[in-house]
Chain A
Amino acid sequence: AQSVSQHNHHVILSEAASLELGCNYSYGGTVNLFWYVQYPGQHLQLLLKYFSGDPLVKGIKGFEAEFIKSKFSFNLRKPSVQWSDTAEYFCAVNALNTDKLIFGTGTRLQVFP
């Protein structure tokens, strides 16, 4: 069965620190990849997505992610986090032989001023 792993469950950073959140998936075929963010008490919002083309994808609020096919990874990065980035981050994968979007368990990010 397809699965998505987010190894960092809880990350605590100070403002201006760099961020990298890991995401690995288990499907070997063609995939669509997503990162969603959920701010406290709010719904999921799309941060960025990869369907094809340049494996380095830029999203909103200074976030980017790199698709490395050989490693089945789609890690999320931000060079300098802000307090307002405090949220839960979900990686999601849609294998193209299925309609389902499989979510990781999420990473809770806390940024302290």
Chain B
Amino acid sequence: AQRVTQPEKLLSVFKGAPVELKCNYSYSGSPELFWYVQYSRQRLQLLLRHISRESIKGFTADLNKGETSFHLKKPFAQEEDSAMYYCALTGAAGNKLTFGGGTRVLVKP
């Protein structure tokens, strides 16, 4: 069975500080990993996917197959980064996603 674990329920950082959201997964094949974000009073939306290897809003995430991790990082957090972040995985079943429990990020001024 596939599983996604986000060990931190809440991350509180000061503006300008680095932020790292942890995501670990279990899956027997080759998964595709994603980060979704939900800002206050907005709908859930895709932030980035590992196959794109791109930086979105200053965030990057590297898939580490050896450690089965897909941590999300940003070197300098901004107040507008305050949101709920979900790590998600899809495998051979195609579009079916398995989500982690979510991490709430609070960036303080």
Do chains A and B interact in one complex?
no
